[in-house]
Amino acid sequence: MKLATKALLPGAVLLHSLLAAGQPLVVVQPPDTGEPLVNPGMGWTLHFYSNLIENYGSKLEPSDTLDDWPGLSVIYLRVPWSFLEPNEGQFNWSLLDTPAQRWIAKGKNIALRVSCSESWCRYATPKWVRDAGAKGIDFEFGKGPTPGGPLWDPDYLDPVFLEKLDHFLAAMARRYDANPNVAFIDIGSFGMWGEGHTGFSSRLNEARTLAVAKRHLDLHLKHFQHTLLCLNDDVAGSSKPGRHFPAMDYALSKGVTMRDDSILVQPPPNSWYHADMAQEFWPRLPVILEHEHYGSSKQRGAWSGDLLLKSVEDYHASYLSIHWWPREELNENRETVARINRRIGYRIQLKEISWPGEVKLGEPFTVQTAWANAGVAPLYAGGFWSFTLKDDHGGVVTAQVDENFDLRTLKVGPPAQVPIEKIQSRFTIALSLVDPQGAHAPPTKPGTYDVFVSVGQRDGTPVIALPLAGHDGQRRYKLGQIRVGERPSK
């Protein structure tokens, strides 16, 4: 065994070179940098609109995209239907698109909820829907149905209401379904604040709530066929514990995920209610959490950074809200944010990689890797790792992808017990366009090349940020070098 004399690069530790089958073997154990990662399908969601247009993006300048919040990946836009369609067939999409474009330009996503009932606005459902004949009920917030009350709830199964909602969702889907900039859409068309509960308003019974939930879920699925939809857990009863409920089981059967907006609304021991329910969802679909308005949670004595992290762990959450004036929340919770960033969603770690120090053109060779997911949730979209070589000008010489191993299959575990999976990958760097052995590949010259790893699409396109040093700006990470030699003469 020959000990290495120096590290390959900052953050990537060259352990040793040794002989394997007559060839020097490079072994690297790159440490996790600990940095927050912005990746598809996970992260912090900023409530730019939280029903009220003023909450909570109104203090941000148009050029301020909150780049200082570590791990921010999604901008959440939650508004009443009446704000988007003030007159039938006339749409105010710029309410959503204007702030969206600020973050889309930075590579972030948006998420949407359109509500039909609010505690501060009589006609969250447009008044023209009622004028068209839709039935409903007046209510007073917290007191329920009240003749002449200041607020109005539609009958969520009324045929006129459903017809108008159907037309609105069709228009919304034309704009946002299959839109790569949209992370998820809430089914928010019934219940107070779009949360699926009516205890503060029209007070539907359990059977009626179930019928409404199924009808509205089906209506959204009719239009949003390519975008992740989510249903609020409160349709099961906001404080009713349990794992299985008819509405949520129906949602899961249709590929609709869950969100829980109850986190830290109440002090312990009632900090949340539906972590058991989440066990049905998270193995297949990303779970979304919304914590209580930060200031309100503090006032009630309900706020705890430790509990917020525990909610991410218990629910195996992929998304977590920023539900307050963002910099105030960040400045008072930096340690909590950092701890959550190391666990939320998925965190793909390359624990070890080894490759021959020298390979020959046209001859297969083995690369051994050990991978782990240090997050709480799977990499739902899947991903494949690529062994990429670059020349000294940064040009891609060869990209070799192992399609036999989908990182979606990595299991998750507690922080100190993260499972590790070891795999062997076989690659060949061919000599010419038509290799003598019949393999087609770009021509490659002998030489010494830089070794990069990445995770992404089957074609070698990097997608997933890894907690590694030495990235090239395209989510490839440099780990060392390899010598490619001439093909041996026959």
User: What is the reported pLDDT for 225?
Assistant: 97
Tokens of 401: 């992808």
- C-alpha torsion 281→347→112→206, nearest 10: 20
Mean pLDDT value across residues 41-69: 96
pLDDT over 70 percentage in the chain: 92
Summarised one tens digit per residue, pLDDT across range 140-192 is: 999 999 999 999 999 999 999 999 999 999 999 999 999 999 999 999 999 99
pTM: 0.93
Q: Could you tell me the fold of the domain covering 43-341? A: TIM Barrel (3.20.20)
Q: Where are the domains of the chain?
A: 2-36+347-485, 43-341
**Res 58 pLDDT > 80:** yes
Summarised one tens digit per residue, pLDDT across range 4-35 is: 323 344 344 444 444 444 568 999 999 999 99
Mean pLDDT value across residues 409-426: 96
User: What is the reported pLDDT for 6?
Assistant: 30
**Res 97 pLDDT > 50:** yes
Q: Which region among 11-25, 328-342, 347-361 has the lowest average model confidence (pLDDT)?
A: 11-25
Summarised one tens digit per residue, pLDDT across range 297-308 is: 999 999 999 999
Q: Which region among 22-31, 95-104, 255-264 has the lowest average model confidence (pLDDT)?
A: 22-31
Q: In what order do the strands lie in the sheet with 2-3?
A: 2-3, 13-20, 23-29, 348-356, 365-373, 420-427
Q: Which residues of 361-397 are buried (b: 16+ CB within 10 A; e: fewer)?
A: bbeebbbebebbbbbbbbbbbebbbbbbbbeeeeeeb
Integer Cα distance of 282 and 251 in angstroms:
13
Summarised one tens digit per residue, pLDDT across range 176-189 is: 999 999 999 999 99
pLDDT over 90 percentage in the chain: 89
Whether 2-36+347-485 shares its CATH topology with 43-341 is answered no
User: What is the reported pLDDT for 4?
Assistant: 32
Q: Could you tell me the fold of the domain covering 2-36+347-485? A: Immunoglobulin-like (2.60.40)
- Extended beta strands in 42-108, E state: 43-50, 52-56, 72-80
